[in-house]
Amino acid sequence: MNEPYFSIEAYLDRVGLDAAVSCSEQGLEALHRAQVYAVPFENFDIMLGRGVNLDPQVLFRKLVLQRRGGYCFELNGLFLRAMLAAGFHARALLARVHQRGEPGGRTHQLALVTVGDRDWIADVGFGSNGLRAPLPLEPGRVSIQDGHRYRLADAGHYGTMLQLEQAGSWHNLYSFDLGYVSRADIELSNHFTSTHPASFFTWKRVANLPRSNGRVSLMDFSLTEIAGQQVQETKLAAGPAYLQALEEYFGIRLDAGYDALRPVKSAD
């Protein structure tokens, strides 16, 4: 059976790399950082009522050829194919998010990558608090990425926990184990996350694009730019100005007018 279409050359152009990376720890970090900084986290196809199609050719066309973004199943799905095309040994994992009280099901995708005799966690699709670079699968080791401090910790029956240090304390992001993940597992998780009314992504417009010294993020109409210690918040106007801001700050060009976006659920 032929492999679904994937062009490593087009992918490298999309993420701003001039040449293929080496199949090494340094190459993995270069590839990871390139996609994180180039392809935004966003959920606008969900808000447009289009859903999220994980067919590899659809994914490649959307994120690479149409230069859109996506959320974890799309971003990490594309990145997994890029890693495999570059010669890395990698496979998908699923995680439980722990940022909003009691964790739910495994609704976040990431990847396990083996380089030589060392295992790494790669994740280009967690949004504003996500990794910038791969993280060694070594619990207790602190990794500093663009000023952010991450570590892995024992999570008991939840497996391994990714944590981020904020204001001197370690905060849980998500937990995962190393069990085998099938395509059907991913499709099931993606369906819930992109359609269920309890899912944050079905009623909040979100976008995020890291920068080496900060990030720019969107939550409904609130745009936040962080550069070092400076934080600037802007309230976006509805209509054409909103679509213009998506393109200006995130490179997201929607092929639909503002009125096509689904209404945002009220906070209450």
Q: Which two tokens stand for residue 79?
A: 């990145």
Q: Scan for tokens 């060392």, then name that residue.
A: 118
Is 252:207 a contact under the CB 8 Å cutoff?
yes
Phi, then psi, of 10 in degrees rounded to 5: -65, -40
Which ranges of 120-239 would DSSP assign to H, the alpha helix?
183-195
Catalytic residue among 32, 45, 98, 123: 123
Which ranges of the chain would DSSP assign to H, the alpha helix?
8-14, 25-38, 44-47, 56-60, 72-85, 183-195, 240-250
Catalytic residue among 32, 45, 72, 98: 72
Q: Is 108 a catalytic residue?
A: yes
Integer Cα distance of 4 and 18 in angstroms: 24
Q: Is 13 a catalytic residue?
A: no
Q: Is 89 a catalytic residue?
A: no
Catalytic residue among 32, 45, 98, 108: 108
Is 152:163 a contact under the CB 8 Å cutoff?
yes
- The H or E element containing residue 104 is none
Residue type, 226: I
Q: Which long-range contacts (CB under 8 A, 24 or more apart) does 212-220 make?
A: 212/37, 212/146, 213/146, 215/128, 216/249, 216/250, 217/127, 217/128, 218/245, 218/246, 218/249, 218/250, 220/264
**What are the residue numbers of the active site?**
72, 108, 123
